[in-house]
Structure 1
């Protein structure tokens, strides 16, 4: 008897024409650009940096995001999940970094960099242990987490549309006259309508997001909503300068706080890895999660050297993969290369920054909603009749939405507790895993979700038919084929 074990072709390994790959890669960059530059602008402002120094922060963050994306998508042995994931600067560390900076200015910023380096090294060391949690993520858990990922991003989209309630003018903080301005809402609505219309036209479905962004930006320019200030005085090329703000400072308290934030990032990255694998339709195991987390943490170790902050998977781009159907990791890698170029060219990054925030918000409604819808689709695979799964989903999603709808809910709790539970994603992940263990593993009813089964290798029925028709084995020969088993 012959045994044939054939590694299935992974959908993420599809190779597209070079121009097509860069086209879709740029679409990914457009979708996440506002998010990746927001963190350096916030931290730069808190540290009291000049406009020139803030440009350095933004360029550095783009540069590191590009390198991290290349490592995650292309991968080297032991590093990178080889999935279509865009890496960007994490919002999960913003509150911690602001607390560390305090009133310390650049000195506080150097303390942030020191804390990130040590915390990320700790993250690298615990990856093998942390990656084993993949077994704790059956569909009842992953569906809940993915749903909340999408829902928790909605305030970001709304904030892009409404603008900030207050702005800084000189040394004063004043009310923003454009806050909740009807013309901003209208511009977002135009962008949303453009995305929806393009999605209905078959030939434009895969570029609906970038098409909507272009149309929205053109309309915004006609009404004077596009500012070219980011282009004035920007250099065409500038190499990143290591430790531009001085050597990092290592403080125990800052390191402890940042280590907690890094653990939150690892939870969120694990959720994003599972989410994109679900969207792509590929298998993922603890080894692949380990490689993805290791790439995440390694990028975060290197980030402070080049004046950047922890990089992690961007959930909004998971929605873009779902919308466009482009699952190729090489297309996302092309986007990573574009990010590197933008990081080396302040002028080029300024061009991308021309997109008005309401335009990003209009597209974000679709992007983030698609992530939530992917979670709902996963939850449809869960058996509810005769199980405790309904209460697991209801409680996990409910707890995860608390910090989304009331951002100061945990404000009177210890800072370490706030760091963990102020993230709706980590709140949901922790609650869903613990409730699944409580109700379905240690005291569950028959048929309830327990632990995710390890994916097995093999071939599909379609692949077996193709092999048979192609004469891969002789008539009458007994063949044993290893087929993939379905995850619990």
Structure 2
């Protein structure tokens, strides 16, 4: 019996037939990888901008924070995609600074802690997260399609406000925010994505997001909506300096608040790992999930040494994998290399930063919508017959939409509660997991026909009726016809039909 060809990547034997192990060549890999960078660039620089401003840093120091976040995001992406023993899921996942910790870090700064206290809290909490990853890696059986499909759907929906904000201009304080020009540019970018996806070759279709961003930027430049004047301002090359902002300070209260953020990050990253596994059609077992989470935590532990923060998988790039169909993890690795270079070459980062936010918004509508559509596709495989799965999906999606529809919903709750449930992704994931355990694992007490909603999904045909159907009988235009095409009369009583 012939053996399946195998190869070794990062000291782990892998099956060469896994879709994520496809190699596209250096040129194609870097082209698609650059598309990933453009997709997440706005998100990865937003956190250092917010935290840097809250810390009262100068523009030069904020620039160093951004460079550090790009640099560490690239290294974390390489670890996640290529992998070494016990670290890295070897999946096409882009890593970057997590949004989950922004509110907590700003709260620490407002409390007088300073950046060294933020960095100390991130380091300590990430070490704790690293120690508890074996627990998270064992819960994969609690993530069936009814859970993963729900979470993937909410991931896409929760990113829609981000796309809308980008389309409006990104800066709510700018006089042009929400202008017809900004939204028109986003709409033009969206139209280009759709046009290239329809009329282009397979290669052009896969690169439609990147090409639309380039064309959109050119259009913006023509109409004076892009500003490249700052590209030449600042150093061309600069290596992130360790402890530039001082040695970490370990404050117990700050660490406890950051541990909550780490728990949220672990839940979100677990969802992203399972989501991308489902999208590309590859197996994600408990070991692989654990390796991915450990890569997240070790990257988050090291990041503060260079001036960065907690690392996690970027949901918007999961959408890019879905919309392009490019499943290769080496494409994302190429994106990781680009991120490292952007961190070392601030001038390149300034070029990418010059891409108008409205252009990103137009592309983001397709990307984030694709994530939601992937979740719906997963939910279509769920069995809703004589069970509570429909209630699980309905309640979890509704629960996940609360912080999206009403961002101030949890403002009166304790800060630790708000930190966890302010994320629609975390809210939906927690609710879906708990309800799945309650109804599908703890079945004691479940009624035979659990609810009117579950009963409503149970369409059936009795054996008696099925026996009455002769060979060739079929439905056409809502009518039952026989093999000769003659309509069979349908009556109210089954006995009359006999």
Both structures adopt the same fold (TM-score exceeding 0.5): yes
Aligned to 1:485: none
Aligned to 1:113: 119
Equivalent-residue separation in structure 1 for 2:280 and 2:188 (angstroms) = 30
Superposed, 1:302-341 pairs within 5 Å as 302-341=302-341
What SS class does the counterpart of residue 312 from structure 2 fall into?
strand
Gap runs ≥5 in structure 2: 6-14, 451-498
TM-score (norm 1): 0.87
Equivalent-residue separation in structure 2 for 1:72 and 1:164 (angstroms) = 29
What SS class does the counterpart of residue 93 from structure 1 fall into?
helix
Q: Give the conservation status (yes or no) of the 8 Å contact 1:141–1:432.
A: yes
Q: Give the conservation status (yes or no) of the 8 Å contact 2:37–2:339.
A: yes
How large is the Cα RMSD of the aligned pairs?
1.7
For residues 447-486 of structure 1, what are the alpha-carbon distances to aligned partners after superposition, in whole Å with 9 as ceiling and x for unaligned? Answer: 99xxxxxxxxxxxxxxxxxxxxxxxxxxxxxxxxxxxxxx
Q: How many angstroms does 1:164 deviate by? A: 5.4
Aligned to 2:74: 66
Equivalent-residue separation in structure 2 for 1:428 and 1:370 (angstroms) = 18
Distance change (3 Å), C-alpha of 1:437 and 1:37: same
Matched, 1:207 2:213: no
Matched, 1:96 2:95: no
Distance change (3 Å), C-alpha of 1:142 and 1:128: same
For residues 275-328 of structure 1, what are the alpha-carbon distances to aligned partners after superposition, in whole Å with 9 as ceiling and x for unaligned? Answer: 000111000001000000000000000000000011110011111111111111
Q: Give the conservation status (yes or no) of the 8 Å contact 1:383–1:447.
A: no
1:20 to 20, 28, 42: 28
1:146 to 152, 158, 165: 152
For residues 173-225 of structure 1, what are the alpha-carbon distances to aligned partners after superposition, in whole Å with 9 as ceiling and x for unaligned? Answer: xxx31121110000000000000001112331100100110111111111111
What SS class does the counterpart of residue 207 from structure 2 fall into?
helix
Q: Give the conservation status (yes or no) of the 8 Å contact 2:168–2:178.
A: yes
Superposed, 1:412-451 pairs within 5 Å as 412-443=412-443, 444=446
Aligned to 1:78: 86
Gap runs ≥5 in structure 1: 168-175, 449-488
Q: How many angstroms does 1:86 deviate by? A: 0.5
Q: Give the conservation status (yes or no) of the 8 Å contact 1:388–1:445.
A: no
Q: Give the conservation status (yes or no) of the 8 Å contact 1:87–1:312.
A: yes
TM-score (norm 2): 0.85
Q: Give the conservation status (yes or no) of the 8 Å contact 2:170–2:357.
A: no
Q: Give the conservation status (yes or no) of the 8 Å contact 2:92–2:330.
A: yes
How many residue pairs match? The answer is 437
Q: How many angstroms does 1:445 deviate by? A: 6.7
Q: How many angstroms does 1:166 deviate by? A: 4.7
Superposed, 1:379-390 pairs within 5 Å as 379-390=379-390
Q: How many angstroms does 1:233 deviate by? A: 2.1
Deviation >6 Å, runs of 4+: 2-6, 445-448
For residues 412-457 of structure 1, what are the alpha-carbon distances to aligned partners after superposition, in whole Å with 9 as ceiling and x for unaligned? Answer: 0001100100011111111001111111221257899xxxxxxxxx
Q: Give the conservation status (yes or no) of the 8 Å contact 1:230–1:353.
A: no
Equivalent-residue separation in structure 2 for 1:194 and 1:237 (angstroms) = 34
Distance change (3 Å), C-alpha of 1:103 and 1:431: closer
Matched, 1:294 2:294: yes
1:187 to 185, 188, 200: 185
Q: How many angstroms does 1:227 deviate by? A: 1.4
